[in-house]
Amino acid sequence: MSKALLQSEAAAEYGPMHAICIFGQDKAKVETCLAGMLSKGLEDSWNPVPKAMEYAVMGQAQRVRPILALRVARMLRAETEDTVRAAASVEMIHSASLIIDDLPCMDNESMRRGRPAVHLQYGEPTAILAAFSMVAMAARVVVSGVDSPGLRRFQLALLATLDSSSLIGGQSMDLALVGDERNAQRSAVNDMKTVPLFQLAVEAGCVSHPNGVPCELEAFGRHFGVAFQLTDDFLDGELEDRKILDQTYEQCRASLQHYGAHAETLLELVQYLEQRTHV
């Protein structure tokens, strides 16, 4: 049996159903919050943008980033309603970035989360407007009606994640690179395009923590983001060196040693990534 087929079977075994088993209530909590955020405007028959937003966010998704946020907060004994809203905002930003990534002028993807991409379902103009609106919603919802240093810090981090030195810069670099140059710059692209949202998820998990983001968790957010992308690259056949992947998983675990057994649910996320690649 070919390596590609084996990897495909492994991805299926540790895919959506396996994720449901280990993510459970965390995923349900995030999706309840997201549904509430997206409910406004759905009854307006003249405006397709709210419907496109709901379509983009509420499709099949594992919600790894917001679940990471909730588990960080729980480990720190700092889980609050603010944490849930911040975690949902991370998912909102992620979903907005996928709309943009899928456009014909970007990665030109036709399917996303098991169904047609937003621009095919609602048209490119509505897709772009939906992405803009989702970014605005994510930035606004975390500070609506409340005022805390942790939420203001998170809002600034959220906005910084979108600038040209982060997600936007990573997408620009990804578009410009081809062939061997693309492979050589894989790490740089990942650092700008994938890692920042996982770092933002850790920030979301710390909005109610009195001391901000501990350095160990800051390191974990970065290592986990790299591991997440390399796992996808390995399953897609773009990364063949298993040693690099295993080293990254170990870096994730090492960054959590300070927390001992309290880090069990975060280590579970690392194990989930690792198991997806087992053949």
CATH code for position 235: 1.10.600.10
Backbone φ and ψ for 255, nearest 5 degrees, come out as -70, -15
The rounded distance, in Å, linking the Cα atoms of 246 and 39 is 42
Q: Tell me the two tokens of residue 186.
A: 């894989």
Residue 60: count of CB within 10 angstroms of its CB = 9
Q: Which residue in 87, 73, 67, 91 sits closest to 19, CA to CA?
A: 67
Tens place of pLDDT for every residue, the chain, 279 residues?
333 333 333 343 344 444 545 688 899 999 999 999 999 888 888 899 999 999 999 988 999 999 999 999 999 999 999 999 999 999 999 999 999 999 999 999 999 988 999 999 999 999 999 999 999 999 998 887 777 888 999 999 999 999 888 889 888 888 888 777 777 777 788 788 899 999 999 999 999 999 889 999 999 999 999 999 999 999 988 888 889 999 999 999 999 999 999 999 999 999 999 999 885
How high is the pLDDT of residue 142?
A: 85
How high is the pLDDT of residue 21?
A: 57
- Structural domains of the chain, count: 1
CA angle 52, 21, 76 (to 5 degrees): 85
Q: Name the residue type at position 251.
A: Q
Q: Note whether 274 and 1 are within 8 A (CB).
A: no
Strand partners, 43: none
The rounded distance, in Å, linking the Cα atoms of 267 and 36 is 30
Per the structure, the complete domain to which residue 135 belongs is given by 3-276
How high is the pLDDT of residue 4?
A: 39
Which three-class secondary structure state does DSSP give residue 42?
coil
CA angle 273, 274, 278 (to 5 degrees): 125
